[in-house]
Amino acid sequence: MSTTRRLLLTALPKVPLSRLTGLVTSLPLPEAARPGLYRWFARRYGASLEDIEAELRSFRSLQAFFRRALRPDARPIADAPLVWPCDGRIVTAGPIAGERVPQVKGNDYELADLLGDAELAAALADGQQATIYLAPGDYHRVHCPFDAELRSVRSLPGTLFPVNPGAVRCIDQLFVRNSRHVFRFGTGDGGAAALVMVGAYNVGDTVVTRDRGHVARGEELGQFGFGSTVVLVLGPGASPLAALPPEHVVRMGGAAV
């Protein structure tokens, strides 16, 4: 089954179909139909409507609803040096062996390939990483996990494989093959860190909302569409990440140490 799935996903015209999906989900919806449609979506994908500050009818399209903001008190920022950057489920989390990052058991990739920057990869070697999958029903905004200086944001081209657990298990080096945005940080202790927003099938329209300067824990960095993946990479000497197993649910702003 995994071989068949891999062949089908490889052959699928992922980028054109994702662009088409983006156009369709951006079309304005009749105002009267919006609340019912969004409630159906919430039931289908497990989205929480209680966290939303705005009225459902104010989201003019499905794309606007995917990118919904939350109430200011919906995700309190923990008093910790490191917090989770997004809602989602852990794919892998733990130490990095040199510059090799685990995708799933027995299937890893080079950190330099993910970041598109050999110098940054070397600075982060033997550090830690957490890979977080955002399902369609999750909150789709990504926030800064620490107080730091945002040095740059780099857009790397690629395809748009799905990033759900089944696809991750069967597609070799999936995260380094998809399009992505790499946020490069300088930390207060003189170290380095990176956060990668990985694009995915139906999520090729990542929006970057902060691209440089000092950023505080919990400050927004960017937004996804339907669902995707975030890879947080910390250099050696950073606060140790919480030892969490795959599928563990995390929430943006919660303590990650």
Residue 179 annotated as catalytic:
no
User: In whole angstroms, what is the distance from residue 49 CA to residue 113 CA?
Assistant: 38
Active site residue 248: no
Q: Is 143 a catalytic residue?
A: yes
Q: Is 75 helix (H, G, I), strand (E, B) or coil?
A: coil
Please say whether the beta carbons of 86 and 252 come within 8 A: yes
Rounded to an integer, what distance in angstroms lies between the CA atom of residue 192 and that of residue 111? Answer: 14
Query: Among 18, 87, 117, 138, which one carries the catalytic annotation?
Result: 87
Across-strand partners of 64? none
Q: Which of 18, 117, 143, 205 is catalytic?
A: 143
Which of these is catalytic: 117, 179, 205, 228? 228
Helix (H, G, I), strand (E, B) or coil at 151: strand
Q: Which helix (H) or strand (E) holds 148?
A: strand 148-156
Q: Which residues are catalytic?
A: 87, 143, 228
